[in-house]
Chains A and B, each alone.
Chain A
Amino acid sequence: MTARLRAPGLTRAGLFLVLGTLFCAAIIVAVREAYGYPVFADGGIVPKAQNAILLLSLLIAPLWFLVGLGAFDYWFYWAAGKRTRPEDHSGHGATSWKDYFRVNTDHKVIGIQYVVTSFFFMLIGGLLAMLVRAELAAPGSQFVDANAFNGLFSVHASLMIFLFIIPVFAGLANYVLPLMIGAPDMAFPRLNALSFWMLPIAGVMMTASFFAPGGSFSTGWTAYAPLSTSAPIGQMFFTIGVQFAGASSIATALNFLVTIITMRAPGMSFWRMPLLVWANFSTSLLVVIATPFIAASQFFVLFDYALGFNFFRPERDGDILMYQHVFWFYSHPAVYIMMLPGFGIISEVLAVKARKPIFGYRMMAFSLLAIVLLGFTVWAHHMFVSGMQDWIRIPMMVTTAIIAVPTGIKIFSWLATLWKGVLHMDTPMLWALGFITMFTLGGISGVVLAMVPMDIYVSDTYFIVAHIHYVLYGGSLFTIYAGVYYWFPKMTGRMFDERLGKIHFWMTFVSFNATFGPMHLVGVKGMPRRVADYAEEFAAWNLFISLSSFVLGLSTLVFIYNMVASWRGGRRASANPWRALTLEWQVTSPPPVFNFDRIPTVVGGPYEYGVPGHVHGIMEPAEEARPKQAAGASSAEEGV
């Protein structure tokens, strides 16, 4: 028992979590006693002391948990001058499911940890959405009160954004990106493990907020001040949870940037990188630059809430609009953080499934970078009705509209990629095509929202709810499904059930549109969002939307069943079931522990389908590699 408690792992982490909480409680009790504030009264702890202990524990106890887990063991050994365990990949790989519950530095293990964890929180978030829709099935109050309802949609959005869409992309890329560029692992494996383990902390914190005194955070995922600075303690579960999710995000993004810049295989020039790599390169730039802003906005809230600062107290010269500016300076680029990796996935899937090179490869890469740049110039379009200075709305409208141009280039190039291809209409392809159509619709409603007079009317209505779900569900989530199905054989070594995959797609596609399509109508008719109760005239549509959403929820279970059952007993996958050219398909499924037995050499573009004798990479070190076809090697450069 003592040995288990001393060894790094979840047992020791649990122990440290308890110790950390006691540590925080001791500090608060000691400080309150020293200043003469009461701690205990009426046989119980006074609420202020209880909140203080809770708040400090939220900040500090997770760090104890990480120490207990062993995330910092190497650095502690090193700092103490003890013998460190060299990072020789000997701890790599997972031989049983238990290996996924410890600190592991293998990017493939971490990738699966990321994907499974984020889908776990996606199911929780989805369940919350079902509860929201059940409440909204009829006007008036059904079964939750106003506070619980506000909590449901707030936690739903926060989990879906910070614990699902952003990290699931990081997880997929964690798995396939080093393989795609011919690297044995990520650049910083220990940092990679630390990034992952901060994620469940954030997720558990946000989910656990329902048990906080006064209920969960209920100010929306936007947490606008001063509502958030005057809310019950549950708000802090968001404020501090976001810090952990954000730190995880930033560390992973740095890791991707360094990996992509320094660890490409010989011959893998930037213009030979698969577009998924380009997409994650662009996303990581966005994350590294933008995410500190949401951290700042939430620290402002924390300081106002806990320390009595005056960032958002107008009577003390605070500025309430500043919160929105700082928040959206992250949260608009965050929309692209949640979309660009999906663009990368779609480019991979479409090229392979249409058996054609990506149309306009360089423009595809340039348009990603254009979106990164323009993404920082549009944030105030979320604030057209906020009361900010009027003139700034016009430049923000123009940049918002213009950002549709690089996005349009991508859509049209994908369509041109389909043209005259040999389309394999299997599950990943269905999701990719579903994405193109649904995301176009979400993009169009985005352009509608960019038009200031239109936005003034529809902002804060269900039109917004419809728009963001077309972008994040029909957009991001469809690409996630495409990617998960596409790389499932590589990640698990098994084939998924194609029939169930198609059922999943069609069920989702139909019920998705039935759920979110009518929201455009009720929104323009005047139904505000974030309300538990609504006017009688919206009752019929809302009932229809709720029923559709339950079907949508069920369709997710088809996916989960397919994944679990196929992973356990699916047909064995060959190394390259899709006949793809990119490097991850040139190794076994799942890949060997060290990815490549010999570092490969890249001799051509990644999508040279239809070019006779095409080769992307040779599984030999550079000095032994003899590119046989000069034409295949250079046609990507010539083609554009």
Chain B
Amino acid sequence: MGLEERSLAQTGPRPERPHARADWKQMLGIGIVASILGVVAGLLIDWFPIAASNEAKPIDTLWDVLIIASVPVFVGVCVVVLFSVIKFRMRDGEEELDGPPIHGNTRLEVIWTAIPAILLVGLCTYAFIVLEDVEKAQANTMEVRVVGEQFAWTFFYPNPDGSGEEIAATRGELYLPVNQPIKFNLQAKDVLHDFWVPAFRMKKDAVPGMTVSYRVTPNRIGRYPIVCAELCGLGHATMRATAVVVSREDFDAWLEEQANPPEPTPAAGGGGGSGAAADGKQLFTANCASCHTLSDAGANGTTGPNLDETLPGQDAAAIRTSIAEPSVEIVDGYTNIMPNDYEQRLGAEGVDALAEYLAEVTKEG
């Protein structure tokens, strides 16, 4: 170093400041040790949620590289600031003293322009490689159509019989076979949403009027939260679902069940309660609980009216109307944002079961 020592434009006798002797080596040593400690700490932190896709590894590694590249920069700046404060701060008797009139040093400035530029271009190149890696098309990809609306996700699968007709997942759960490359085709019915499974690391917006796609390959069996990451209105925080990664066999069986739903049968066993109530409760939990509060189902959504308060006194027919055509009667203080297609989604029997269940559990109110 010592570059700027030479550029000192000393124009007059300057009082000695023995305490302010700058020891480059000392500062460099402290900086290196602190950087190493910082990088180690940064790498030891358990940053990410569980990884469940092939895409997670390169992205998590990129994060580690960014930690290694950036911690020394931050530590370096802090060390120089602290070092300056300790060494060069004004002591008693220096109130009228000025520092040396150093105006600059071209070599130093070239160095601290060039090195960051090279570092950044290097990082960009690496990030580009990672991006190509996680987005490249895979053979034998299954396409899943994901439709977002206020405030729910619906998932559509290609029919394995090749008929071209889609199979809709009925429970609001996204089933995926493990180690199967997936391409999500995102669509939105009303406003922007963002389909994000943190465990898969990738996300993109669902945009009305467009189909936006991205790819992942789930590689770990388990259940992972699906989050809407783009502000979409009142129920944004509750627009959650679950991604279920299962084995190939389980997936095929599940898809078969979705394609040919079994005839509704009264719930066998499973404790008390009539069949309608048990079924209705399940439907409620899957479809309504994110927006409505209902103590019987343990639901505490606040986007829509509190059903413990509004439903008592209404019969099943009136409740049925409110589900099928929410715009007919709006509770004071709420706006008409509830989807109006539950009859199509759940079928007439589903709405009946839901209405009966709600009438039953709220009647004593």
Contacts and interface: CB of A to CB of B under 8 A. Distances in A.
A451 B97 contact: no
18 contacts: A140-B300, A145-B302, A226-B191, A314-B209, A357-B101, A360-B104, A387-B186, A387-B210, A401-B121, A401-B124, A418-B81, A422-B99, A423-B88, A448-B63, A459-B203, A612-B12, A639-B103, A640-B104
A397 B103 contact: no
Interface string A326-369: 00000000000000000000000000001111011111000000
Given A385-B204, A401-B123, A454-B59, A360 B101 contact: no
Contacts of B124: 397-398, 401, 450-451
Given A150-B233, A528-B196, 12 more contacts: A141-B302, A386-B205, A387-B186, A404-B120, A420-B102, A423-B85, A436-B77, A447-B70, A453-B59, A453-B62, A460-B230, A610-B99
A412 interface: yes
A279 B235 CA distance: 43
Nearest to B191: A227
A405 B135 CA distance: 29
Given A521-B47, A528-B227, A635 B101 contact: yes
B231 interface: yes
A224 B9 contact: no
Contacts of A510: none
Contacts of A387: 186, 204-207, 210, 212
A454 B112 contact: no
Interface residues of B, number: 90
Given A146-B235, A444-B70, A457-B59, A425 B90 contact: yes
Interface in A391-414: 393-394, 397-398, 401-402, 404-405, 408-409, 411-413
B188 to A, nearest CB: 9
B340 interface: no
Interface in A215-269: 218-220, 224, 226-227, 230, 232
Contacts of A441: 74
A478 B347 CA distance: 59
B364 interface: no
Given A412-B112, A524-B47, A531 B209 contact: no
A526 B194 contact: no
A11 interface: no
B300 A451 contact: no
B77 A146 contact: no
Interface stretch (A90-98, A532-540, A585-593): A532-540
A321 B202 CA distance: 20
Contacts of A402: 117, 120-121
A453 B131 contact: yes
B81 A526 contact: no
Contact of B237 (A320, A419, A448, A534): A534
A420 B194 contact: no
Nearest to A451: B127
A418 B103 contact: no
A502 to B, nearest CB: 14
Contact of A636 (B12, B94, B103, B208): B103
B330 interface: no
B31 to A, nearest CB: 12
Contacts of B190: 226, 230
B303 interface: yes
A84 interface: no
Interface centre among A354, A385, A631 (most CB of B within 10 A): A385
B220 interface: no
A189 interface: no
A577 interface: no
A454 to B, nearest CB: 6
A421 B90 CA distance: 9
B248 to A, nearest CB: 27
A415 interface: yes
